[in-house]
Amino acid sequence: MTITKNLEGEKLTIALEGRLDTVTSPDLESELKTALEGAKELIMDFTKLEYISSAGLRVLLSAHKKNGW
């Protein structure tokens, strides 16, 4: 999976490409922990995401709960 981040002011866009599954979800979790600092708005771009497993959904839900988006 490829993770592309773009921070414009307080708006962070994260684009995912490939598969978000049990193997790659820890990578996204690590990226979100560091990337979300200072961002007040988060946009997730799944345009090129081919697959998402329950492990990937867990990471997204966890980030949502922690940051209140």
Residues 23-69: tens digit of each pLDDT: 999 999 999 988 888 788 889 999 999 999 999 999 999 988 876 65
What pLDDT sits at residue 26? 97
Q: Is the model's pLDDT at 21 over the cut of 90? A: yes
Nearest CA to 44 out of 17, 1, 14 is that of 14
The mean pLDDT of 6-20, rounded to a whole number, is: 95
CA–CA distances in Å: residue 67 to residues 8, 18, 35, 37, 60: 18, 25, 12, 10, 11
